[in-house]
Structure 1
Amino acid sequence: MGNATALFYLVFLAWILLLHLPLWLRLSPREASVSRGNLTAEAIETLQSYLRIDTAQPQPQYRKAVRFIKQACKRAGLEGFHQFSFQRGRLGAVCSVQGREPHLGAVVLNSHIDVVPAESSAWRLAPPFSAAIVDGNVVARGSQDMKTQGVQYLEALRRLRAQAGDKWPMRRTVHVLFVPDEEVGGRTGMASLVNSSLWRDTLRPAVLIDECLPETRLGVYKVCYGERQPWWMTIRTSHHTAHGGTLPADTAIQRLFALLDNVLAYREQQRLAVESQRKALGEVLGVNVVHWASSGNGNATNVIPSDAEIRLDMRVPPHMSELEVLALLEEWTRGSCNWHSHNGELLCANATYRIQFIDRVIAPYREVVDEAESMLYRAIAIAGRARNISLEPFVFPMSTDSRYVRQAGVPAYGIMALDGVLQGAQLHQPDESVPLTAFERGISFYMELVRQLAEEAHWEATADVANVTARRHTSDEL
């Protein structure tokens, strides 16, 4: 047989193999391009199944989701499954790998179960809870925020267990935590958990890994070491009503627009600073008008309203103090505020405006992101280098459950292991999606991160004690 004939047969055999490979892996051709065997195929199936559970607020299918999580934890070989709830129907779950040295504080890998609502009519690529794979991306509400990360944790631990042999388990206990209600403020989720006996006696966290943002560049992950704090408020003003055919010098609506002029002028300054890249979004105080209304005229067109109000969503960066923000509000309202507490709320009343806070978080905590100053962060950085990942410190511009964790005295770093996401951050947007290649790379990174935090790196935590026996909770306690 001549060389040309032999070459033809080799090319033909290679073509047959490539043609049938996707069938052997039980994936579509696009999915097969990122597969490395059954482990990846099963991980993708797990991800799709989880994303198909509608956990959108305000009525998340928590029971269905927790049942699924229980089975996923079992498939990953994790024991010690607990279901918990701090308000009827608002369910969370945790599954664990008990460490060889249980007196050491645990590594907690956190994600939230709930997602924001999705308007099906706005989704062009696929329905929001179909978890369809389109051009190598899994499209679903929650794919970025943040169900994918929860599945990556489980898959990383499953692969570590398969590789470790007699070296399993690791020194520190590892918990995979799934919390409810992050998208509605976390009061009935993480905020309650950090004040519970489950947190203190069973989880005993030394560090918590949480969400951040996906990255468009390959080989780069953001490390969220702090976040902006939400200040939500209503500002009201009042003045005498008048006939719609008159031209009074002062009205409630005019006062409202004078306030809006100040708010929007400040907002534009911050927007330009971000647009010109002089500052990152997480470094500026952001403010948006989310509602405005008038009343006191009986809804009549020919009566000038006596009352007007706006609602603001402010996001305060961790470097700004409470006094600085209050001073800014005084500047906007053009008068010294008489700050006083009423029914647990901080109110400002002057001759023209009244400010009432709906929510006001004061948690200007920032984690150390210098290897020379923190052995814990050094372990995180080593994990990045081991996977050729560059880690970039970043202030999260929105809010996460990490604020409650930091308030409880536990270090919290947000690391979303999704790089090369060319569509960028799509949190809360239509057609939210994640490349399967990024999903796979992230699993590899979390494997190394867990290995460093729970086994290789010898860092100390306040949760480390000489000898503690973790107490299991009864179903009544949970």
Structure 2
Amino acid sequence: MSKEQWENDEEIKIFREYLRIPSVHPNVDYTPCVEFLKRQAASLELPVEVVLAGLNPVVVIKWLGKQPELPSIVLNSHMDVVPVFRDKWTHEPFNADLDDEGRIYGRGAQDMKSVATQYLGAIRSLKASGYQPKRTVYLTFVPNEEAGVVAGMSYLVKSDYFKKLNVGFSFDEGMASEDESYAVFYAERTIWHLRLKISGTSGHGSLLLHKTAGQKFSYILGKIMEFRDTEVKRLNRNSTIDIGDVTTMNLTQLNGGVQSNVVPPLLEAVFDIRIAITVDIVELEKQIRDWCEEAGGGIELVFEWKEPFVAPTKIDASNPYWLAFKQALDELGVKSRQRVFPGATDSRFLRQAGVPALGFSPINNTPILLHDHNEYLRADTYLRGIEMYKKLIAAVANA
């Protein structure tokens, strides 16, 4: 297709309209997103509700199934996007510019406004063909996914409203693949943000004091870096695993001291830890505490964010939704890979609530640009994704 044809395509127009809404952190105003989604529901002749997760809106569009007593299907997406550094962009990040090669630029092009409007496009086409799913399908558009555990899906899944939806399975976001394959994410690593408050002997900077905070920090940092190095080597040695299959530990903040000639009584270090699903989290915490004792003690562990282990979605014959999803991919003739998501999505809250979820974004042969400058998605990739979702949604909704 030419640039003019892409510009006149109704589905591309809808996608670009959504991209132009600056639902960007911090202090997101979700009102334009809600109004946009209400218009989409009206065009599809589907009922829509707006419920609250904390003080933030969740938009829920309902496509009634032939057998509504069966567990329902959720098509989840988030309305918010991460901040931009405008001076790093070659296109205005909220203009949804379309270039001559068919690249559509905008914050959210991959993460994940494309997926949201692809769901809508797929349902539009399925409804036009006369198709009605066996199971009821809910489209949920949630706030604050990019803000961690702030009121969003984490609140919604605990609500009586969500329980009444009788959800059996959820679609959610994945990420782009740089080769011809498509990634399907069935699990996520456990996230810890750990602050170590390291107390030690204080005094004059000219002395060789014993058990200073610096000495203790050096020991602990050495142990963590040794652990990190083993994971780096394991990743480099084994071509069958990805970053989501290893445990990462990274020093992200370091604070302490008031003057260059005073040995401080306290240093604080923050580590971002993402734990592989094969690791025993109880044993890992014990290991870290042992390192702190070996360093000389006097170290307080403060978990600023400590998520529990969440069991992966089963990708075997025991999960009929997975069987339907995988069969649809096979019938589409595409190559897929089952992976553990390296970051964090709302799927973890769904899985924790007992809802099996798969993360999937129909994007291949595309640079991974989520949270990056000049985020874009090609128009032909976008439209092909709608066709893929038509097949996937119909298959899973009839599972």
Question: 2:311 aligned to 339, 362, 365, which one?
Answer: 365
Determine helix, strand or coil for the equivalent of 1:333.
Answer: helix
Q: 1:355 to 1:140 in 2, by over 3 A?
A: same
**Counterpart selection for 1:65 from 33, 37, 56:** 33
Unaligned runs of 5+ in 2: none
- 1:223–1:391 contact (8 Å) kept in structure 2: yes
Structure 1 residues 62-96: Cα deviation after superposition (integer angstroms, max 9, x where no partner): 11111111112222x142201111222x2220111
Alpha-carbon separation, structure 1, partners of 2:28 and 2:237: 39
- 1:76-135 deviation line (CA, Å, top 9, x unaligned): x142201111222x2220111111211111111001111111111222x31222221233
Q: What amino acid does structure 1 have at the position aligned with 2:195?
A: T
Alpha-carbon contact 1:31-1:136 (below 8 Å) kept: no
**Once the two structures are superposed, what CA deviation does each residue of 1:353-410 show, in whole Å capped at 9, x if it has no partner?**
211101111133112222x343221100121122212221111111111111111111
How far, CA to CA, are the matches of 1:450 and 1:192 in structure 2? 25
Cα distance in structure 1, aligned partners of 2:385 and 2:211: 59
Contact kept, 8 Å, 1:229 with 1:398, in 2: the verdict is no
> Matched residues in 1 for 2:287 and 2:344: separation?
21
1:254 aligns with 2:211: no
1:148 — aligned with what? 114
Match among 453, 466, 474 for residue 396 of structure 2: 453
Matched, 1:54 2:22: yes
Contact 1:180 1:186 in 2 (8 A): no
SS at match of 2:344: coil
| RMSD across aligned positions (CA) | 1.9
2-structure distance, mates of 1:440, 1:110: 19
1:103 is aligned, of 64, 69, 72, to 69
Change (3 A) 1:140 1:385: same
Deviation at 1:330, TM superposition (A): 2.8
- d(CA) in 2 for partners of 1:110, 1:327: 36
Question: Counterparts of 2:291 and 2:15 in 1: how far apart (Å)?
Answer: 47
**Is residue 363–residue 381 contact of structure 2 (8 Å, CA) maintained in 1?**
yes
Residue 354 of structure 1 is matched in structure 2 by 300
Give the corresponding residue for 1:9: none
When residues 60 and 358 of structure 1 are mapped into structure 2, their CA distance, relative to the original with a 3 A threshold, is same
Q: Which residue is equivalent to 1:434?
A: 377
Partner of 1:130: 95
Amino acid in structure 2 at the alignment position of 1:63: T
**Equivalent residue number for residue 286 of structure 1:** 248
Q: 1:332 to 1:143 in 2, by over 3 A?
A: farther
**Larger Rg, first or second structure (1 or 2):** 1
Give 3-state SS (helix, strand or coil) of 1:258's partner.
helix
The equivalent position to 1:182 in structure 2, one of 136, 142, 145, is 145
How many Å separate the matches in 2 of 1:276 and 1:49? 45
In structure 2, the residue matched to 1:112 is 78
| SS at 1:406 equivalent | helix
Residue by residue, what CA displacement relative to the aligned partner does 1:394-439 show, whole Å, maximum 9, x if unpaired? 1111111111111111111111111221x2x222111111121211
Count of equivalent residues: 397
Q: What does residue range 2-21 of structure 1 map to in structure 2 within 5 Å?
A: none
The 5 A counterparts of 1:311-350 are 311-335=270-294
Partner of 1:238: 199
1:208–1:410 Cα contact (<8 Å) kept = yes
Q: Whole-Å Cα distance in 2 between the matches of residues 275 and 47 of structure 1?
A: 38
Q: Within 5 A, what are the aligned runs for 1:263-302?
A: 263-278=224-239, 279-295=241-257, 299-302=258-261
Q: 1:11 aligns to what?
A: none
Q: TM-score scaled to structure 1, two decimals?
A: 0.79
Matched residue type, 1:61? D
Q: TM-score, normalised by structure 2?
A: 0.94
* Partner of residue 221 from structure 1, selected from 179, 182, 200: 182
User: Which residue number in structure 1 is paired with residue 264 of structure 2?
Assistant: 305
Q: Which runs of 4+ in 1 moved over 4 A?
A: none
Matches of 1:305 and 1:78, distance apart in 2: 66
Match of 2:52 among 85, 91, 106: 85
Gaps in structure 1 of 5+ consecutive residues: 1-21, 23-28, 337-349, 458-478
Contact map agreement 2:252 2:271 (CA 8 A) in 1 = yes
Alpha-carbon distance in 1 for matches of 2:294, 2:285 = 12
List aligned pairs for 1:413-432, cutoff 5 A.
413-421=358-366, 423=367, 425-432=368-375
Separation in 2, partners of 1:101, 1:144:
34
- Matched residue SS, 2:47: strand
Secondary structure of 1:79's partner? coil
The 8 Å contact of residues 368 and 377 in structure 1, kept in 2 or not, is answered as yes
Q: Percent identity?
A: 29
